[in-house]
Amino acid sequence: MATKQHQPATEATAKTPLLTRLIGIVESASGRMASIDYWMVLAISVVLAVFGVLMVQSSASVEAIAKGKDGFTVALSQATFAGVGIVLMLVMQFIKPSTLKRLGWPSVLGAILLLFLVAFTPLGHTVLGNRNWIRIGPLGLQPSEFAKLALAVFAAFMLEKKQHLLHDMKHLVVPIVIPVGITIVGLVVVGKDVGTALVLLMVIAAAMFLGGIRMKWLAGFAAVGFVGLAVAVMGSSNRRQRVLAWLDTDCGPSDQLCYQASMGLHAFASGGWFGVGAGQSRMKWSYVPEAQNDFIFSILGEEFGLIGVLFVLAMFIVLALAMYRIAMRASDMYTKVLMGCLMSWVIGQTFVNLGTVTGVLPVIGVPLPFISSGGSAMLAIMLAMGYVLSSARAQKLAFEAGEGKAKDKTIPAKQK
């Protein structure tokens, strides 16, 4: 009788399409996958950071030598920030999520203070048309990069704290959207950094969605955000010209406004299937402006080809999948919201950067996470992965402890 009872289940499993079973395995949020997710986040974060340093060396060395500097200057700086970021990430994994989430208020208040100093004091510094740097002597910092992480942690902290009140719209919006979110986005827009403002709006939208906001309200907020960004773009002659160049209606004198996008696309397309080889890019020789920053993916495509591009994208997808499973496995709202916000930041920013390089979006100055040159961006993304590793490690230890207790219970039974 027992054999007959189990037979239908076996037949049903056998009849399940292979693709469906694979999808089930990939999306599985079981405790047994906790250890795998932990190691995937750790390995991919380190690999992408190291690969980013190598790409910065390849894309920035020619320009550095042309300016009379050492060809390794930019890469060594990036390697330093990557090394510090990896160490901080490894240290943060040993801090309990319940401790890290207490940084919600301090981090967001610190971000607002730094953004205010950038926007309205002499400490603010303009680079490539964007006032988004703060400089004190030889030291420079881009607070808007850390504001992304601060906003994500703050939103997760507040939504968990008010989770029993979220049926009331005002508790969902206050204080995440009003006043904190609007203040941070507004200060960034004052500095004309529309790309970062777009990413911050993605983080806010993810928090509101995970908080249970009605779709009509989310669509309304999205429309308001879109209109606000449109006004910011039209209010800046540089941004407005870039949008017109993207629409191919006005490339300016000698097509100079279309030059960066067209050269980046040319570099990206010239890589073919397997690329021209690591370090062998020809377009980095002053053809692609900012090759080590926003357009580093075009150099990556040229040197490693379609295969290399797909490999890098696969790592981002696997990272997002691990974060998704960590969120699904979590029993607390803080972890669910935090993973969703961080995932919207990393993956959203990645696709905005790819859209810029491939011409799907106008050039709006958004770096590629882990890979583009920039110490602040590297430190911010590695700190974010530290938060992810902290939650992943907590789940991994919880499963291992539960498995150990189960074994302890079965041993006496077997002895009997």
At residue 247, does pLDDT exceed 50? yes
For the segment 154-168, the average pLDDT, to the nearest whole number, is 93
Q: Tell me how far apart the 2 most distant CA atoms of the chain are, in Å.
A: 89
Give which of 107, 160, 199 is closest to 335, Cα–Cα: 160
Task: Check: CB of residue 58 under 8 Å from CB of residue 279.
Answer: yes
Q: For the purposes of burial, counting CB atoms within 10 Å of the CB of 124, is it exposed (0-12), middle (13-18) or buried (19 or more)?
A: buried
Q: How confident is the model at residue 352 (pLDDT cuts 50, 70, 90)?
A: very high
pLDDT tens digits for 318-338?
999 999 999 999 999 999 999
Q: What is the mean pLDDT of the chain?
A: 87
At residue 250, does pLDDT exceed 70? no
DSSP class of residue 276 equals S
All structural domains of the chain with their residue ranges: 33-395
For the segment 292-301, the average pLDDT, to the nearest whole number, is 91
At residue 133, does pLDDT exceed 50? yes
Angle, helix 182-190 to helix 143-161, in steps of 10 degrees: 170
Q: 3-state SS of 278-334?
A: CCCCCCCCCCCCCCCCCCHHHHHHHHHHHHHHHHHHHHHHHHHHHHHHHHHHCCCHH
Q: Give the H or E element holding residue 22.
A: helix 18-27
Number of helices (H), then strands (E), belonging to the chain: the values are 16, 3
pLDDT at 106: 97
Q: How confident is the model at residue 15 (pLDDT cuts 50, 70, 90)?
A: low
Report how far Cα 262 is from the mean position of its chain's Cα atoms.
Answer: 26
* Phi, psi torsion values for 126, nearest 5 degrees: -95, 130
What single letter denotes the amino acid at residue 64?
A
Report how far Cα 341 is from the mean position of its chain's Cα atoms.
Answer: 9
Q: For residues 112 and 99, give the distance between their C-alpha atoms in angstroms, rounded to a whole number.
A: 22
* Phi, psi torsion values for 72, nearest 5 degrees: -100, 0
Q: In whole angstroms, how far apart are CA 33 and each of 321, 329, 396, 402? A: 12, 9, 8, 14
For the segment 297-320, the average pLDDT, to the nearest whole number, is 94
At residue 2, does pLDDT exceed 50? no
DSSP class of residue 131 equals E
At residue 224, does pLDDT exceed 50? yes
For the segment 129-151, the average pLDDT, to the nearest whole number, is 89
Virtual torsion, Cα 243, 245, 251, 255, nearest 10 deg = 130
pLDDT: which is higher, 310 or 22: 310
pLDDT at 197: 92
pLDDT: which is higher, 100 or 222: 100
pLDDT at 13: 52
Give which of 271, 313, 262 is closest to 289, Cα–Cα: 262
Give which of 379, 387, 369 is closest to 52, Cα–Cα: 369
pLDDT: which is higher, 252 or 192: 192
pLDDT at 409: 63
Express as a percent the part of the chain with pLDDT over 90.
54
Contacts of 361 (CB under 8 A, 6+ apart): 246, 352, 355
At residue 66, does pLDDT exceed 90? no
Task: Check: CB of residue 218 under 8 Å from CB of residue 208.
Answer: yes
Express as a percent the part of the chain with pLDDT over 70.
87
pLDDT at 147: 97
